[in-house]
Amino acid sequence: MEQLIRHAASGDVILEVRDLHLEFHDHDRPEVAVEDFDLELHKGEILGIVGESGSGKSMTAHAIAGLLNRHALEKSGHIVFDGTDLLNSNRATIRQYQGDEISIIFQEPMTSLDPLQRIGKQVEEALRIHHKELTADARRDIALRTMDAVGLPDPEKVYRCYPHELSGGMRQRVMIAAAIISRPQILIADEPTTALDVTIQAQIIALLRSINEEFGTAIIFISHDLSLVRQLCHRVIVMRQGRIVEQGTAEEVFLHPREDYTKMLIDAIPKVVL
């Protein structure tokens, strides 16, 4: 892990966020969700963003993924990927990257997957949108190989299933397969283990680590579970009320936290008493 951290720190920035400000105007008074947020993501890096509910971490993830569709939204700053400022681009430009170069895994697959479509069609979606040169047979072959790579048993059978026929852990693996099928440069995991038991959580964390190591995919891991973040991430950003309060390597943040808020979050991690 130390080798990966040194490599990331040496350069190879693939995503840069500067002065991100998100403010909603669909209530009685303006509500600031994210303020003065800066981020650099490096190739091959796993970056954790942590904080309590409402801290702005998921809104930041959705902004990077180009999923901010609310009309009463004031936004400013820059989100630069591949020389393109995604925050200030039109929908057509953003769609060129969504699901292909930048993908997202949502926290609740049962509400994210279409209950009326078979799993195979949903896993293949990014290929149909971004790789029209592929035949139906080629898409199916890639989908089956990707489903196998994320540990889905009997991919041929799962390919024909509907979401309600799968367990929660299998549905989450389906979401991961759909997110990585195009081999994106950036994978955003937004609370991907929240609804899962601890055994399945451990499997998903191991799978994300394997994707990072095998494909060199940079991962932004959003979570309020600091124990999972400590297991997985190279660097950590701590957010509170829309702002960054602390950041550093995982070792720096967890072993030598500077801010009282970070210390309180760490102290809130349940301790196992034998």
**Cα separation, 124 vs 136, whole angstroms:** 9
- Residuewise pLDDT in 10s, the chain (274 residues): 333 333 344 459 999 999 999 998 877 788 899 999 999 999 999 999 999 888 999 999 999 999 887 667 899 999 999 999 999 999 899 999 999 999 999 877 778 899 999 999 999 999 999 999 999 999 999 999 999 999 999 999 999 999 999 998 899 999 999 999 999 999 999 988 877 788 888 898 999 999 999 999 999 999 988 889 999 999 999 999 999 999 999 999 999 999 999 999 988 877 655 5
3-state secondary structure of 160: coil
Cα separation, 147 vs 159, whole angstroms: 8
Q: Residue for token digits 């993501």?
A: 41
Residue in 212, 214, 209 with CA at minimum distance from that of residue 232: 209
Instruction: For 91-141, give the DSSP string.
Output: HHHHHHHBTTTEEEE-S-HHHHS-TTS-HHHHHTHHHHHH-TTS-HHHHHH
Q: Where in the chain is the domain with CATH 3.40.50.300?
A: 1-12+39-69+87-101+188-274
CA distance 184 to 174: 16
Alpha carbons 17 and 67: distance in angstroms, whole number: 15
Coil/strand/helix, residue 154? coil
Name the packing angle between helices 168-180 and 136-149 (round to 10°).
130
Q: Beta-strand (E) ranges in 1-87?
A: 13-24, 31-42, 46-50, 73-81, 84-85
Residue 30 has a pLDDT of: 83
Residue 68: is it exposed, middle or buried by C-beta count within 10 angstroms (0-12/13-18/19+)?
middle
Q: CATH classification of 1-12+39-69+87-101+188-274, choosing from 3.90.550.10, 3.40.50.720, 3.40.50.12780, 3.40.50.300?
A: 3.40.50.300
**pTM value?**
0.90
Q: Are strands 235-240 and 46-50 parallel, antiparallel or unpaired?
A: parallel
